[in-house]
Each structure stands twice: as structure tokens, then as C-alpha cells.
Amino acid sequence: AGDRGVPKVFVETLAVLTDEAPAKPFEEVERVIIEELGGPASELFASIDRVPIAAASLAQVHRATLKNGTEVAVKIMYPALRKDVASDFSVLRTMSSQIKPGGFDLGWLVNDLEEALKMEMDFTLEAKNAEASAQRLAHMEHKVKVPRVHWDKTTQGVLTMEYIPDLIKFSNRDAMLTSGLDPRKVGELVAKTFAEMTLCHGHVHGDPHSGNIYVRPCPRSDGGGG
């Protein structure tokens, strides 16, 4: 991305969709918590912020505290998402059956896209992938952190994970420098991590944008800066 690839103005305009998309009122998304977890947020959590800390295409994230005092991040799927997606794919299937550019049947593409999106809308799969990644990258525990999943508060439409404070977006170079991080070294670590996941474990991260990758300064095991 940037001037060498996608024009910078496009990058800056679309970047908001990674974690600053228009959010839904808490009253709307709480319906998902009630349906998926069996009760209102006030009964399930000691507290939960009504204003999300991030919002993207499928869900928004709220900071919360469990009854035992543990801080968590609660990812809640938008309530009308499944219905809207089903409607959209009904239209796409109709279009693909009638429009065949160059004589090619594109129905398979619609089917593949639908199956992939259904998997993305199942947060239990995301949770399992997070745990698998944590296990495979355990040897990099002082450099790579995968938040822990809280399974008792996780369903297909709600994902509750460990909350990690003081994070810096991977795309925020100025904030990295202010925090004493070397952007080049950070980039090398991210590249090395994703290369290992893909080439050594056959585990491909399908959405590696700056809304999903964060960094923070932290001490190394040898006592030095990291």
C-alpha cells in the first residue's frame, strides 16, 4: 500500500473500515449478547463500556470486566448481519445464474465466497484459530502475544478475549517512535511471524491489516527493552 501500490488517498479513506467503521448503539448489539449468552450484559459482566473501542465490517468491540475482575475485550457481531448477508447472496446467486461473462459460469465463485463468509461469521472458529496460533508461536512468547480466549463468554456471535492495554496500531509509525520502538524491527518481526505461520505451520492469517495487528513496548526476558 501507499504511493508505490494502492494510492495513499485510497488507503487513508478505507483504513477507517479496519477499526473505525460506524458503530451500532449498544442497545442494538446487546440483543446479540442476550441471544447468544442467555442474559443481558449487566448480569454477565461486572461492567461493560457502552461505547465500543473498535468497530469493523462484521462486529464491534467493547471493553468489559468479568465478575472476577479480569479485563476483557468483547467482540459482538452486528445483529442484522446474518440476515443481510443471506439476502445479499440470494441476489448474487440470481445474478451469477443470468450473467455469464465470456460464457463462464461464476456460480462457483459465489458459493466459495458464501462459504468463506459463513466461516468468518462463526467466532468460535476465530477463537480456535487464535488458540492454535498461540500454541504454535509459544516459543516467541516474549515477542508475540495472542490474547487468551474466555470460552464461557464465547459463541458464534460473541468472542470474549483477554484485554491488552497500551496497544499501538501497526500502521502508526509516529506512535512507535514515540514509544521507543524501531518500526523497521517491528516490521521484521511481523514478517517473520507471518512467514513462520504460513511456511512452517501452513496456517494463513486471512486478514492481516492494522486493525488486527498491534504492537507495544514490553520488557524482554533478559531484562532489556523489547
**Nearest of 213, 153, 161 to residue 187 by alpha carbon:** 213
Please tell me which residue in 122, 182, 207, 222 is annotated as part of the active site. Answer: 207
CA 132 to chain centroid, in Å, comes to 15
Torsion angle, CA of 73/127/30/54, rounded to 10 degrees?
50
- What is the residue whose three cell numbers read 512467514? 195
DSSP per-residue letters across 36-71: HHSS-HHHH-SEE-SS-SEE-SSEEEEEEE-TTS-E
Decide if 105 is catalytic. Answer: no
Decide if 158 contacts 36 (C-beta within 8 A): yes
Could you tell me which residues come within 8 angstroms of residue 66 by beta carbon, excluding any fewer than 6 positions away?
A: 45, 46, 72, 150, 153
Cα separation, 110 vs 45, whole angstroms: 39
Amino acid at 220: R
Active site residues: 207
